[in-house]
Amino acid sequence: MLKLILLAGLCVITAQLGSNDRLVCHFNSGTGDQLQNTLFDISNLVDPFLCTHVIYSFVTIDNAGIRDIQQHVQKFQEFDTLKIRNPGLKTLLEVRLMQLNDITQASTTTVIASIIDTLEQYGFDGLNIFLTWNMDSDFATLINNLRQALTSNGDLLLTASVSATPAVIAASFQVDNIANDVDFLNVRTSEFDIFPANSLFEQTKFAMDSLLLKGAPAHKLNLGIAAYGEDFSIFPSFVDPGVTQIPGLGTYYKVCDVQHPSVWVSYDSISTITTKVAYIQGNNFGGAFVMPIHLENIDGINCSPGQYSTIQNVRDELNVW
């Protein structure tokens, strides 16, 4: 009996030690088309050994199910090969629900069937829902139905990426209900890193506190970390044509070694990553959410921290093995 008690205690301690080593990475499926460079196909762009979960973003859904799926088939197949290289990797398909309207029982059944079929056909381990807008009770019901369907079809994962803006958190979705149905929530606090402010980290903490107060369990929250930066100079110089069309939004390998007094660039450095991971661990959050992979320091040539420097630093700090 004593041995059983000791073993149970050891299991609890081990679970607690491993409670914040989740590392979720976000892959933009339009990357290859934008870059028009064979070097940056999925197999070269995504290292399957860096993250515990990788999200394929994204497909859209209307009341008839997933839209325009044929344009994703080849990339789905390439994405699935990542698990051949690392069988322990979990892959998630991200859907955006903006085309859904007047959800009925019939449309809910159709949507769920379309999702289940796609996940199973292309080898995904689960579904990630992108939530940033007004979510009424119909959407909460849909998510609950999705939870039941995914559980009964091989216990597939259900996760969500949510806004970090407190006002949106308060008005956009039923945090407590959704948190009960999902395996984890990816909090887009990385978006704070591209806006100039006196204390970006304070905004991050306020967002996480808002979710906790609304009923989200700490162990289900993944803190967002940016693998990109933004140039706030008068004439932004870090736009990479074909990678991003947002003025001043730059790839990490363009901004990480900027050393010029007239250039002010916001990004997650090694020191800010250390601070954020300590915050994750100190509050027993589930882990980190790094986005997007295609703006990372992929080849490690231009930045002194090395290849995949953001993700690798997060991984090292979280002790992900």
DSSP letters of 120-155?
A: HHTT-SEEEEEE-S---HHHHHHHHHHHHHHHHTT-
Q: Please list the pLDDT of the chain residue by residue as tens digits (321 residues).
A: 444 434 444 343 333 444 688 999 999 887 655 444 445 578 878 999 999 999 999 999 989 999 999 999 999 999 999 999 999 999 999 998 766 777 788 889 999 999 999 999 999 999 999 986 655 667 788 899 999 999 999 989 999 999 888 888 877 668 888 999 999 999 998 877 655 554 678 889 999 999 999 999 999 999 999 888 766 664 455 545 444 444 455 566 666 666 555 666 677 878 889 999 999 999 999 999 999 887 787 766 666 567 888 899 999 999 987
233 exposed, middle or buried (CB, 10 Å; 0-12, 13-18, 19+)? middle
For position 42, what pLDDT does the model report?
A: 86
Does a structural domain hold residue 247? Answer: no
The DSSP-derived string for 11-76 is HHHHHHHTTT-EEEEEEETTHHHHHT-GGGSHHHH--TTT-SEEEEEEEEEETTEE-SGGGGHHHH
For position 102, what pLDDT does the model report?
A: 76
The whole-angstrom separation of Cα 284 and Cα 280 is 6
Q: Any idea which residue has 């959800």 for tokens? A: 103
**Contact call for residues 217 and 224 (beta carbons, < 8 A):** no
Domain harbouring 42, CATH code: 3.20.20.80
Does a structural domain hold residue 119? Answer: yes
**Contact call for residues 236 and 248 (beta carbons, < 8 A):** yes
Does a structural domain hold residue 261? Answer: no
Q: CA nearest 313: which of 254, 267, 271, 264?
A: 271
For position 264, what pLDDT does the model report?
A: 65
Does a structural domain hold residue 256? Answer: no
- What are phi and psi for residue 285, nearest 5 degrees? -70, 165
Q: Which long-range contacts (CB under 8 A, 24 or more apart) does 201-209 make?
A: 201/272, 201/275, 201/276, 201/279, 203/164, 204/164, 204/276, 204/279, 205/279, 206/166, 207/164, 207/165, 207/166, 207/169, 208/283, 208/285
Q: CA nearest 252: which of 314, 297, 191?
A: 297
Does a structural domain hold residue 272? Answer: yes
Does a structural domain hold residue 232? Answer: no
Does a structural domain hold residue 233? Answer: no
Per the document, the length of the chain is 321
- 264-300 residue pLDDT tens: 667 787 888 999 999 999 999 999 999 988 778 776 6
For position 4, what pLDDT does the model report?
A: 41
Amino acid at 243: V
Q: How many independent structural domains does the chain possess?
A: 1
Does a structural domain hold residue 5? Answer: no
For position 308, what pLDDT does the model report?
A: 84
Q: Any idea which residue has 């149970």 for tokens? A: 8
Give the structural domain span for 164.
Answer: 20-227+267-318
